[in-house]
Structure 1
Amino acid sequence: MGSSINSSNSEWWRGAVIYQIYPRSFMDSNGDGIGDLPGITARLDHVASLGVDAIWVSPFFRSPMKDFGYDVSDYRAVDPLFGTLADFDAMLARMHALGLKLIIDQVLSHTSDQHAWFAESRSSRNNPKADWYVWADPKPDGTPPTNWLSVFGGSAWQWDSRRRQYYLHCFLTEQPDLNFHCTEVQDALLGEVRFWCERGVDGFRFDACNHQFHDALLRDNPPASLASIDEVSTVRADNPYAMQQHLYDKSQQENLVFLERLRQLLDGYGAVALGEVGDENAPPVMAQYTELGKRLHLAYSFSLLTADHRAKHLRHQVETLDLALAPTGGWGCWAVSNHDVPRVATRWSDGKAPDTRRDRLWLALLLILRGSASIYQGEELGLPESEVPFELLQDPYGRTFWPEFKGRDGCRTPMPWQADAPHGGFTTGTPWLPVYGPHLPLAIDNQADDPGSMLAFSRALLHWRRTQPLLRTGGIVFFDAPEPLLWFERRDGNRSLQAIFNMGSEPVTLALREALVPLQGHPLAATASVQGNSEKRMLALAPYGVFFGTPANEEEGHS
């Protein structure tokens, strides 16, 4: 069911589809209300049935859970909330039996403040790990050493009375940044990665990997322009983090050398590296980070995780990355949802009512773009963003910026497995976040046997994509088209496929540039039709319609 069409290929990741599991919310096996590794194992048949190549599992390591696992206190231990190392081994074995690869999340840029390394580092200025974190003296007036800001609001510096110094934290105060200028830190982190390589994982998703170095001279960031605050920032405009150009607190050139050391380690195990690049000018950083054979295998940014889904915007984001990657031979990975942003079914709805046609459109677009693709759990069901009342909110980010920003809990509520079971079949206890009522009719058991459901469509589209090799590796070229149309061609050698998407809620007609033969056999074929004669061919697209076609002069070969 889940076997990859190129599982024996060392470049299986190129054009692969990766399914992201947020373990707290996937499936709870023991009734404590929190999803766990045995719960994932019990539900792997569902993921395998989709036709994806790999699973990315968000952090399950020992953690105080201030940022729900992205604050690691022991890189080699499974947090008891999620199970044991034996549970991990069983999960990995089951994935491999189903033909699925496993990518685990590694948070190398920072640790929890409860990590033993930090406890030692903060104890004095002359202990063996004194330089393992980013410590700096205050300015003469006692203020922080730089103007750097935390992604989660406020200064990125926290005063520590034991050392009488500030430490850097680009995220929560409980997430102190490691000092990558210290070679011992690099060596220690490579050892943590090696531990999981030895356990047999197929790859790693490296969280915030462009945050791994800071400017050693501690220079202040300059202010951002007003235009960039609204257009290119990786955070909301009401977050002061958006008001700076982040020239010195991340994306430093020294990181390239460390990534080469990391790649050398991973190559020894055949493991793959997927990097998260949160940068206001992400494409050139991604191109450097994924330079062919040198550093990461592939990377993704936040470019399609915003609310802007105009065809013009989407084209600009894809073309900009493709242009940046071309000189380095790098590779991108696209995502339209993950555990950090509102679900795409709501984010790209323009406030309109739920519409399965729209959900099918975005999934088709994600799977046709050049690059690999990441699908977040529940997107195959068309789940909308959940509403979580303030009193039940868990995310510290949301509590800080409420009510203008409600945090990340709305995309993290539990998966609905059974429509009529308590808590959607996720747990027999009280779930850590409430199951969202409107999700229950979309539960997997309701959709599984319905040929018209979003789940049936997701399976059909994913399996069809596996029959189209050029979609995994072919190039991409865009054609001009008026809003709301997005028109591009995927080409590999003498084979090509043209794709035209109607991003709008009204039917549209378009004059074709050449005679195109509609591609049959895919689940969106009925949403578009070619009309007219050989001299004037018109394409009619239904609302949220999608057309796939090949030039009439190409020899037959698509199915």
Structure 2
Amino acid sequence: MLEARSVLAPDPDWWRGAVIYQIYPRSFQDSNGDGIGDLAGIIHRLPHVADLGVDAIWISPFFPSPMLDFGYDVSAYRDVDPMFGTLGDFDALINRAHELGLRVLIDLVLSHTSESHRWFTESRSSRDNPRADWYVWADAKPDGTPPNNWLSIFGGSAWEWDGERMQYYLHNFLAEQPDLNLHNPEVQDELLEIARFWLTRGVDGFRLDTVNFYFHDRALRDNPPLRPEDRNDRTAPSVNPYNFQDHLYDKTQPENIAFLKRLRALCDEFPDRTTVGEVGESQRGMEVQAEYTKGNDRLHMCYDFALLSNAEPTGTYVAEVLERANDIVSEGWACWAYSNHDVVRHTTRWGLSEPALRVYAALLMSIRGSICLYQGEELGLTEAYVAFEELQDPYGKRFWPKFKGRDGCRTPMPWIRDNQYGGFTDGKPWLPVAMEHLQRAVGVQWDDPGSTLAFYQKMIAFRAAHPALAKGTLDIVEAADDRLSFIRAHDGTRLFCAFNLSGETISFTRPEGTWRQDKGAPFTAGLHNDIGAELPAWQAFFAIEEQGDT
């Protein structure tokens, strides 16, 4: 391993309020012309990420994998897939990131493996081998049907028949992604040793894929039906019958808490490490966040899909989400995102104009919690169209055309305009480059102070300059569909934040006190000093309370 030359100051609390930039390695930068991004490409482009001003990167899986789910089907945990590079490349990436002041989180997939993993090969070989109980196996019902009614997120039954063991095995995702049995202490011990391997190698923490899927109900009880009026598309698209069940027994089991405590204790052996869990839960997501992050012995932070869903992000809706977080996650810590590798890019999902995109970005940078940005979000990228014949995502192939899968948010990052592949590769890219993205390439926006990229830089810097935004309390002042305002407070400083979420000039209620506009924010419009002041369309306003006033 390379000797790290870090400019990072020791800070066990660095993650609280941090801005984390997600890199999807297949689509970030290709260094060898094979059309697939790699670790060397990430190293080459790290200065761009550092110049944004973010605190850390989260890298989606790069482990050896048959790539049926593009890395989320892991076949070996302690190595790098050759398409991405080598362990030496990863060490170089850690070293370069730390030189640039960036911490590095990696995506650990602990709920399931690839069927090609040697553990599963052994487990399926008999019912009495040393790893026979490392996966979730169950006998068929007398009529040959699966053990219960559990469904896969990718469609169909969550059970797959194996003719070698003459049993069904559980898979919450693809049939080629069998679920590990974490009720087995040996499985837990092995997964913790894998985490230790990467912590020792220098990673600063983990993004934990599907963290509430680690355990299943031992009794394999059927999930009850969910009332149609209670269904939503936060975990699965609306065309998927997965949404017809209340998932009480196939995930989010109480035994998970003890394992998360073991994982946290391991992380605490290393300085300044963190964890962020992905909670795939449509009905009780925030409650799970609270349970998994409260106190100092579980996960550091979690996110659910409240702001990643199709729900219209009105001021009313966002205020409800934030107030629920205040009430429910009061002893823990939330992480928020608008976009990632699993959902339609929010610019398209919410139909945002350029002014709307900016005010919503400012809102994200102003709420209580940590923040995740997805590569290309800082460029204002829209969802790309991917024709069916070019589709790679098995999820999209299953539910096409009503659900087109996740490829539209995974297309290559555009770095320059004057190249058909946007500077991503010299070969044919694994997914097509959207032509409209070339007009928003990094090279186009970099020297333009009025660009979306420049706006993100300024807003990230503004958040970093105000501890109240990163770590303070949040109290709603006013909320309606077309507006939202709140006060962030920390260590004696109060910051008033107001957002016009409409195309019309609207009136705002100003909080009591004497306030002065913070001119460091990337907005020029100001509220007047009287009650009921006006704010122009798609504008935000930030003001600091004058010292000595209440």
Matched ranges for 1:94-133 at <5 A: 94-133=96-135
> Residue 538 of structure 1: CA displacement?
3.2
Residue 5 of structure 1, CA deviation = 11
- State the Cα distance separating 1:553 from its structure 2 match: 6.6
- 1:282 equivalent in structure 2: 285
1:163-184 CA deviation, whole Å, 9 max, x = no partner?
0100000000010000011000
Indicate if the aligned counterparts of 2:207 and 2:277 stay in contact, CA closer than 8 A. yes
TM (norm. structure 1) is: 0.94
How far off its partner does 1:37 sit?
0.1
In structure 2, distance between residues paired with 1:549 and 1:81: 49
Residue of structure 1 in register with 2:300 after alignment: 297
Q: Aligned residue for 1:203?
A: 205
CA distance in structure 1 between the aligned counterparts of 2:307 and 2:234, rounded to whole angstroms: 13
Q: For each residue in 1:115-140, what CA deviation from the matched residue of structure 2 results, as whole angstroms up to 9, or x when unmatched?
A: 00000000011100000000000111
List per-residue Cα deviations over 1:497-520 (Å, max 9, x = no partner): 111111112221224343553433
Equivalent of residue 79 in structure 2, options 74, 77, 80: 77
Contact 2:316–2:479 (CA under 8 A) maintained in structure 1: no
Task: Sort the Cα spacing of 1:70 and 1:159 in 2 relative to 1 into closer, same or farther, 3 A.
Answer: same
Cα distance in 1 for partners of 2:342, 2:148 equals 27
Please identify, of 506-515 and 10-19, the stretch whose mean Cα deviation from structure 2 is larger.
506-515
Cα deviation, residue 490, structure 1: 0.8
Distance between the aligned counterparts of 1:46 and 1:455, measured in 2? 11
* Residue in 2 that maps onto 1:21: 23
Deviation at 1:67, TM superposition (A): 0.3
Which deviates more from structure 2 when the two are superposed, residues 478-487 or residues 294-303? 478-487
- 2:328 is matched with 324
SS in structure 2 of the partner of residue 406 of structure 1: coil
With over 3 angstroms needed to count, the CA separation of the structure-2 counterparts of 1:365 and 1:424, relative to structure 1, is same
* CA displacement 1:165-207 (0-9 Å, x = unmatched): 0000000001000001100000111111111011011000010
Query: Could you say what secondary structure the match of 1:525 adopts?
Result: coil
Whether 2:540 is the aligned partner of 1:546: answer yes
- Distance (whole Å) between structure 1 residues aligned to residue 18 and residue 34 of structure 2: 34
Residue 250 of structure 1 aligns to a residue in which SS?
A: coil
Measured against aligned partners, the alpha-carbon deviations of 1:248-273 in whole angstroms (never above 9, x if no partner) come to: 00000000001111111111113211
Q: Residue 360 of structure 2 corresponds to which residue in structure 1? A: 362
One-letter code aligned to 2:532: M
- Name the residue aligned to 1:269: 270
Q: Secondary structure of the equivalent of 2:495?
A: strand
- For residues 230 and 238 of structure 2, the distance between their equivalents in structure 1, rounded to whole angstroms, comes to 9
Match of 1:244, as an amino acid? Q
Alignment correspondent of 2:224 = 222
Q: Residues of 2 paired with 1:554 and 1:368: CA distance?
A: 24
Is the Cα–Cα contact under 8 Å of residues 29 and 39 in structure 1 kept in the other structure?
yes
Q: Paired residue for 2:398?
A: 400
Task: Please say which of residues 42-51 and 362-371 is displaced more in the overlay.
Answer: 362-371
Equivalents in 2 of 1:317, 1:5: separation in Å? 36
Greater Cα offset, 455-464 or 31-40: 455-464
Distance in 2 of aligned mates of 1:37 and 1:491? 40
After superposition, where does 1:340-355 map in structure 2 within 5 Å? 340-349=342-351, 355=353
1:519 and 1:525 in contact (8 A); partners too: no
Partner of 1:162, secondary structure, is: coil
Give a deviation string over 1:471-515, Cα, whole Å, max 9, x none: 111011112333211111111242111111111122212243435
Show the counterpart of 1:93: 95
Q: Tell me the equivalent position of 1:194.
A: 196
Match of 1:179 in 2: 181
Counterpart residue type for residue 440 of structure 1: L
Q: Residue 314 in 1 paired to residue 318 in 2?
A: yes
Once residues 56 and 226 of structure 1 are traced to their aligned partners in structure 2, the CA distance between those partners, rounded to angstroms, is: 36
Aligned to 1:384: 382
Q: SS in structure 1 opposite 2:231? A: helix
Shift of 1:555: 5.7
Give, in whole Å, the separation in 2 of the partners of 1:472 and 1:4: 23
Which residue does the alignment assign to 1:254?
Answer: 255
1:516–1:334 distance in 2 versus 1, CA, 3 Å? farther
SS at match of 2:20: strand
Letter in 2 for 1:381: L
User: Which TM-score applies when normalising by structure 2?
Assistant: 0.96
| C-alpha distance in structure 2 between counterparts of 1:318 and 1:511, whole Å | 19
Please give the per-residue CA displacement for 1:261-315, whole angstroms capped at 9, x wherever unaligned.
1111111113211111111211111111112211111111111001221111111
Matched residue SS, 1:130: coil
Partners in 1 of 2:20 and 2:100 — Cα distance? 14
SS in 2 for 1:278: coil
Q: Give, as a single letter, the amino acid of the residue that structure 2 aligns with 1:324.
A: I
2:148 match: 146
Partner Cα distance (1:482, 1:286) in 2 = 26
Following the alignment from structure 1 to structure 2, what is the Cα–Cα distance between the partners of residues 436 and 4? 37
How far is 1:42 from its partner? 0.3
Give the share of equivalent positions with the same residue, in percent.
54
Residue number in structure 2 paired with 1:505: 503
State whether residues 104 and 204 of structure 2, in contact with CA within 8 Å, keep that contact through their aligned partners in structure 1: yes
Q: Quick check: 2:152–2:171 contact (8 Å CA) kept in 1?
A: yes
SS of alignment partner, residue 365 of structure 2: helix
* 1:531 paired residue among 516, 528, 531: 528
8 Å CA contact 1:495, 1:554 repeated in 2: no
1:427 match = 425
Which consecutive unaligned segments of at least 5 residues does structure 1 have? none
- Specify the alignment match of 1:451 in structure 2: 449
